[in-house]
Amino acid sequence: MSENTNEQTEQVGGRNRRKVRVGVVVSDTSDKTIVVKVERRFAHPLYGKGVARTKRYHVHDEKNEYKVGDTVRITETRPLSKTKRWRVLGLVDRPA
């Protein structure tokens, strides 16, 4: 199988390895929550054509510092609410 660069994991202290993703903030209207769109690209198993799939993650943003359009790095965490299982690690890029 091919290795996907988006499927990165990190070691945090003594905890298990956690998934890390990079995506774009598409919504910041909720308090302490942002919605991040993560795109993964792969070759179609039969035809070989490049295919893109996107997924939206509800991410914890404690200080409400990230805005729509920001590229952020997120990591898995314990469940924080019904839909939030990710938190922001940091800003990757902010559009001018």
Q: What is the 3-state secondary structure (H, E, C) of 2-68?
A: CCCCCCEEECCCCCCCEEEEEEEEEECCCCCEEEEEEEEEEECCCCCCEEEEEEEEEEECCCCCCCC
pLDDT value for 1? 41
pLDDT tens for each residue of 41-55: 999 999 999 999 999
**Distance separating alpha carbons of residues 56 and 23, to the nearest angstrom:** 9
In this predicted model, what pLDDT tens digit does every residue of 8-18 receive, in sequence order? 665 556 667 89
Domains and CATH numbers, the chain: 8-93 (2.40.50.140)
Give the pLDDT of residue 12. 53
